[in-house]
Amino acid sequence: GFTTYAERRIVEVVQGEERAALNSGIGWRGLNRMMERFKDNMEFTKLKPKMAGIDPDDVYSEVPYEKGFQFLWRIERQIGRPAFDEFLKKYIANFKFQSIDTETFLEFLKANVPGIENQVDLHEWINGTGLPPDAMEPESATYKKICVLAAEFKSGKIPSEEEVADWSGQEWELYLENLPTDVEASQVTALDERYKLSESRDYEVKVAFLQLAIPTGCRCYFNEVEKCLKQVGRMKYLRPLYSSLARCSGEEEKMLAKRIFSEAQEFYHPIARGVAESILLKHG
């Protein structure tokens, strides 16, 4: 949480408030995806989950980063940025070059921000499942515009070149992740014909697009999926692509996933290999 919070404060200074808000919006979207992912085991939506007997790599997610960011941002909103910055300076000075546990942080917080436990439900934020009621979706004009454009895709509207002229990878990632999942193959191919997203060198964009394409039965993208799964080994990209293939109702996609894995597994890190293998076993 602290790393993500610090990153966005840096982005705000270097690139402006709107870019930082967009970054936070993408994080918010990712956090909500994790709530859906863990809907059958909400323990792993806590900031302090019970991990006895659990391999952390099996439940690795954006929750610690994005829910942690939301927690710190909630405190900032409560006491104001100047006061929160003073707290951060004390926190860094006191614990630099150390590792601390949750209880130590909370004790330090309450000692240096008197009464915070009466203003923010610290127990709910740390030990509660899901998103607390005072979590907040970031406000960004760019974020809202992209979400509107994504909603219009269902009716067949593809963003014009003017509308995407200033988009970077982050904007495209947010757009693709907000698109409806029940779209037609023809819509997906039309989008790609205009903007060549399947050929993007930005893997955040490329993988987001391929995730959209796979369930529609667009077999013309199987080669790109295969290249991607053989060229990168990050679990961040392997998990969604293997999951998308394995969850398809057709046998062709499942067989493709198994073949690619059999050919590429020796190049994956053992942890990534184990995650991919578990996905294939789970979905047959």
Q: Average pLDDT in the 117-130 region?
A: 96
Domains annotated on the chain, with CATH: 2-127 (1.10.390.10), 165-282 (1.25.40.320)
- The count of C-alpha atoms lying within 13 angstroms of the C-alpha of 238, restricted to the half-sphere facing its C-beta, is 25
The closest of 239, 230, 238, 234 to 266, measured between CA atoms, is 230
What is the CB neighbour count within 10 angstroms for residue 82?
A: 9
- % of the chain surpassing 70 pLDDT: 100
Dihedral (CA of 74, 77, 83, 88) sign: positive
Q: Is 217 within 8 Å of 187 (Cβ atoms)? A: no
Q: Is 242 within 8 Å of 229 (Cβ atoms)? A: yes
Instruction: Count the residues in the chain.
Output: 284
Kindly report the pTM of this predicted structure: 0.79
What integer best gives the mean pLDDT of the chain?
A: 92
**Span 206-254, pLDDT tens digits:** 999 999 999 988 889 999 999 999 998 888 899 999 999 998 888 899 9
Whole-number Å distance between alpha carbons of 60 and 44: 9
